[in-house]
Amino acid sequence: MVMIMKLVGALLLMFLVVHGVECQLRVGFYSGSCGLAEFVVKTAVRQAFINDRGVAAGLLRMHFHDCFVRGCDGSVLIDSTSSNTAEKDSPPNNPSLRGFEVIDAAKSRLEGICRGVVSCADILAFAARDSIEISGGLGYDVPSGRRDGITSLSSEALSNLPPPTANVGQLTQIFSNKGLSQAEMVTLSGGHTIGRSHCSSVAPRLYNFNGTGQDPTLDAAYATALKQQCPQGNSNGNLVVPMDAISPAVLDEGYYVDVISNRGMFTSDQTLMTNAATAAQVSQNAGNRMLWSAKFAAAMVKMGQIGVLTGSSGEIRADCRVVNS
């Protein structure tokens, strides 16, 4: 454990030294202006987790979806209006994203303590970290100082988020576009070890893969189990299945074990075994939970720096759902 923690520290330090100055984020950003900021967010996450353990996966995914569209600026939190359909109502996000009420609760408490100080983008970054930790992953320091964006467009979610049908080449390019390596793509894909998927995202692999029926790469027993949970022709848009049937609320190496066994839920999961380099990463992660956890923490810090707004850019929203008037 000591060696792994040293590895986490080394990975994070190396990244912050190389990238910390250029993005103007820093650990402890609110220590002088709102010292309780991270504690308030952690409390909100813990309270929500007690009521619904699945909220951790929701908050982790929300941070990912925020950062991949316009950068980590909290734009995924903005509500749609009569004149604009926002990111959260784009098909990749609606109805699957969840946990907005946790961000609302933390923001409300923080506005009562230190009004106009803590950004929604930082609250989401803190909440994602706390969700990882409460789910069994390694905690890490979150560089903060993000400011909130003022634009949120459904169309940009569609064009920036990796679809469940993506192959390894497409995934590599999508992540590269955000400054993340192929190895970091494989590492971050492990986030699929917690949470759930709507049957509508799984059905194409079960019933209409390339117009031929079931995806032949899908483990037969696993496919049968999925079909029982997601019947063909099902019209219930709220029907869901766990991403990891064994430990759906624990951030562990189960995702990689499943992928090796042809039980990756999405094409974008199973495709990692079609490339020698990514398959080697999958095997390494499957065999060493602590090593993967360390890499995951470092990759989350790096992802959290994508396209951030700092200084006088953007704003500090009073309500995470609405741009300041």
DSSP string covering 158-190, please?
HHHSPPTT--HHHHHHHHHHTT--HHHHHHHHG
Q: How far apart are CA 278 and CA 102, in angstroms?
A: 34
Query: Which long-range contacts (C-beta less than 8 Å, at least 24 apart) are formed by 5-11?
Result: 5/138, 5/294, 7/291, 7/294, 8/138, 8/140, 8/294, 8/297, 8/298, 11/294, 11/295, 11/297, 11/298
Q: Residues 274-285: pLDDT tens digits?
A: 999 999 999 999
Q: Are strands 240-242 and 196-198 parallel, antiparallel or unpaired?
A: antiparallel
Looking at residue 17, what is its pLDDT?
45
Q: What is the DSSP string of 32-94?
A: TT-TTHHHHHHHHHHHHHHH-TTHHHHHHHHHHHHHTTTSSSSGGGPPPBTTB--GGGSTTTT
Q: pLDDT below 70 — which residues of the chain?
A: 1-23
162 marked as binding residue: yes
**Cβ pair 321, 292 in contact under 8 A:** no
87 marked as binding residue: yes
198 marked as binding residue: no
Burial class of residue 190, CB neighbours in 10 A (0-12, 13-18, 19+): buried
Provide CB contacts within 8 A for 216, sequence distance 6+. Answer: 209
Whole-angstrom Cα Rg for the chain = 19
Q: How far apart are CA 249 and CA 242, in angstroms?
A: 9
Looking at residue 234, what is its pLDDT?
87
Is residue 65 annotated as part of the catalytic site, yes or no? yes
**Cβ pair 316, 148 in contact under 8 A:** yes
Q: How far apart are CA 212 and CA 290, in angstroms?
A: 40
151 marked as binding residue: no
pTM across the whole model = 0.93
43 marked as binding residue: no
19 marked as binding residue: no
Q: How far apart are CA 321 and CA 319, in angstroms?
A: 5
**Cβ pair 293, 252 in contact under 8 A:** no
Looking at residue 19, what is its pLDDT?
46
192 marked as binding residue: yes
66 marked as binding residue: yes
Choosing from 19, 63, 65, 198, the catalytic residue is 65
Cα dihedral 194, 197, 203, 206 in deg (nearest 10) = 10
Q: What is the DSSP string of 186-207?
A: HHHHGGGGSSEEEHHHHHHHHH
Angle CA 99–319–310, to nearest 5:
95
Tokens 């929604």 sit on residue: 120
